[in-house]
Structure 1
Amino acid sequence: MEIIQMVGLGLIATVLVLIVKEQKPMFAFLITTFTGIAIFLFLIGKIEAVIRVLEDLAVRSGIEMVYLKTILKIIGIAYIAEFGAQIVRDAGQDSIASKIELAGKVLIMVLAIPIISIIIETVIHLLPA
């Protein structure tokens, strides 16, 4: 039922933004931003629960935690970059939003290098010499 709360908050914020936008565009942007942050903060508990389950699965399956932590960092960068880009896009700055997305992609690539290296080494060892 939490989705009903999120949708309700979003609808209320949308109505407020539409009312305020013509008179005070800056306040409309602030309402949009704070609504996004409020929804994100509400979801942090859910994200923590998912991370705990993934850590438990990694421990039970014998996966090294460094790989799981790297993957979680990559997912975090993707979500944060997308969230930031959407806020900037809401302010009408598509160019800056694109740069935020580019920065997120580059940081993800940098974090993925150790995992890609391990995968390549594993494939090389599996191939007949």
Structure 2
Amino acid sequence: MEIIQIVGVGLLATILILVLKEQMPLFAFLLAVFTGIVIFFFLLGKISSVINVLEGLARNSGVNPVFLKTILKIIGIAYIAEFGAQIVRDAGQEAIAAKIELSGKILIIVMAIPIITVIIETVVKLLPV
């Protein structure tokens, strides 16, 4: 099971970070960042298969591929912003982490505008005149 491997890597890195933190805090931080990246790359294949399934479902249901791509980009922004904010928080920079999260939320809103517009137009068309 993949989760056991992921937890194992996380626990091992945590123990090493705790040991390094006192003597070499910079290396401890770099190890935390590296561990996060390793875990992300480990999951990349799973993410790819989920995207393929969603694209197939969208194709079969006749959904405009632009909408699916936009939604996947929005999800990507959310995950990247959260990952970046967590790394910055680990470095003790709460204010910068908050700005990263705010930036992610604003970018999500900007990307969602075309989808929101289509939804509103559809609802208006359904309303009796």
Fold in common (TM above 0.5)? yes
Identify the residue that residue 125 of structure 1 maps to in structure 2. 125
What amino acid does structure 2 have at the position aligned with 1:84?
A: G
- Deviation of 1:73 after TM superposition, in Å, equals 0.3
Q: Does 1:3 align with 2:3?
A: yes
Identify the residue that residue 72 of structure 2 maps to in structure 1. 72
- Deviation of 1:25 after TM superposition, in Å, equals 0.5
Identity score, percent: 71
Q: Does 1:62 align with 2:34?
A: no
Identify the residue that residue 95 of structure 1 maps to in structure 2. 95
What amino acid does structure 2 have at the position aligned with 1:120?
A: I
* Secondary structure of residue in 2 paired with 1:22: helix
- Deviation of 1:112 after TM superposition, in Å, equals 0.2
TM-score, scaled relative to structure 1 = 0.99
- Deviation of 1:15 after TM superposition, in Å, equals 0.3
Count of matched residue positions in the alignment of Structure 1 and Structure 2: 129
How far apart, CA to CA, are the structure 2 residues paired with 1:56 and 1:122?
A: 24
Identify the residue that residue 24 of structure 2 maps to in structure 1. 24
TM-score, scaled relative to structure 2 = 0.99
Identify the residue that residue 109 of structure 1 maps to in structure 2. 109
How far apart, CA to CA, are the structure 2 residues paired with 1:107 and 1:38?
A: 26
CA RMSD in angstroms comes to 0.4
* Secondary structure of residue in 1 paired with 2:116: helix
How far apart, CA to CA, are the structure 1 residues paired with 2:75 and 2:29?
A: 27
- Deviation of 1:94 after TM superposition, in Å, equals 0.5
How far apart, CA to CA, are the structure 2 residues paired with 1:80 and 1:45?
A: 17
- Deviation of 1:71 after TM superposition, in Å, equals 0.2
How far apart, CA to CA, are the structure 2 residues paired with 1:12 and 1:93?
A: 24
The runs of 4+ residues in structure 1 deviating greater than 2 Å are none
| Structure 2: stretches of 5+ with no match in the other structure | none
